[in-house]
Amino acid sequence: MAGYLKAFHSFWSAPNRIKNGGKITFPDYEQVTAILSALLWKKHNGPVCMITDSPGAELFEILGLLPFWDETVVALDGLENRLNPVWSWAAGKLAALKTMPIPCVMLDTDLIVWKNLSSCLNADVIAAHAEPLNPRTYPDPASFRMKAGFYFPRHWDFTESAANTAFLYLKNAAFRDLYTDAALDFLRNVEVDHVDPVQTMCFAEQRLLPVCAKANGQKLGFLIELRTAQRQDLLTHNWGFKQILSRNRAAREEFCLRCMRRILIEAPETVTLLDACRDLSGYLKEVQTAI
C-alpha cells in the first residue's frame, strides 16, 4: 500500500430497486470498473471501504465482490424513509460521507485514480474538476420551488462554477458536516412537482459544494481541468461511456475484457477472487485462454 488516505465507495440500493422493479442491477461493466477503482486506490493511495445498505451488501456477496474492498459497512439502511430515492438518487454518497473519519476521499465506483495523489492534495477541499454552469444541468437556484420556510443564505455566491464530485477530498470534519447538511437539507425541502432528478441531485451535490466552500473560507482545488479529462493519465471516469455499454453488447464485452486484462496486470494476485465472481469468471477464462 503506497499511501494512507482512506477512500470509500458507496452504493445505496433503493434508487436502483425503484428503477428496476424491485430488483437490484449492477452490470458486469460496472463491476469490473468498481474492482479497478478499488484495486488502484489501494495500490497507490490507501485503504478503501464500501458503504452500502443491507440489500446492497447481500448483492455484492452473491456477486463475489466483497473481498475487493478492505471493509464493507452497512450504514444506509432506512435512508429512503428520510429522502425520496427518485430525485435524491445519489444522496447515499452524502449520507455515507457523514459516517467517514476525516480526512477521506469520496470516490465513485466508476472513477479510477491511476497514481498517488500526495502531491495533489494542496487544498481544504478537492474535487475532480470544475464544471461550467450549463443551465440544462445547473439551473438558477430560483428555478427550484422550495417548501415554506426554506431559504438559501443571502451571502451564498451562486456564480461559482460547479464541482464534479466523482472524486472529493475533504480534510475538515466541520466543513464536511456543513456541506452534507446543506445538500441533504435542500433535498428534503425541494418541492417535487416539475423536478428534474438530474438537476436536483447535481445542484445538491455539485453546485452547493463550491458555494459552501467559499462561504466558509475553505480553499477549493481540482485534480484536473475538464478540457484535459480525455487524457486519462490521472483519472478515468466511465460516467458517459456507461450509456453506450448498456445498449451495445459487443462494446460491453470488449470493455469488460479490457478491464479484466488490466486488473490482472495491476493485481495478478486477485485471480482467485476474480474466478469466484459470478458474472466475471467467464471474462477471466477468456483472457487466460488468450494469453
Question: What does pTM read for this prediction?
Answer: 0.95
**Closest to 166 (Cα-Cα) out of 253, 80, 106:** 106
DSSP 123: S
Q: Hey, which residues does 7 pair with through a beta bridge?
A: 48, 105
- Going along 21-97, which residue ranges are E strands? 48-52, 71-74
* Residue 162 grid coordinates: 460547479
Domain-by-domain residue ranges, the chain?
A: 7-239
Q: Indicate the CATH number of 7-239 among 2.170.130, 3.90.550, 1.20.1250, 3.30.43.
A: 3.90.550
Is the distance from CB of 245 to CB of 25 less than 8 angstroms? no
Query: Are 130 and 161 a contacting pair, CB within 8 Å?
Result: yes
Peptide bond into 135 cis (omega under 30): no
Per-residue pLDDT of the chain (291 residues; tens, 9 = 90+): 445 899 999 999 999 999 999 999 999 999 999 999 999 999 999 999 999 999 999 999 999 999 999 999 999 999 999 999 998 999 999 999 999 999 999 999 999 999 999 999 999 999 999 999 999 999 999 999 999 999 999 999 999 999 999 999 999 999 999 999 999 999 999 997 777 899 999 999 999 999 999 999 999 999 998 776 567 789 998 877 788 998 999 999 999 999 999 999 999 999 999 999 999 999 999 999 987
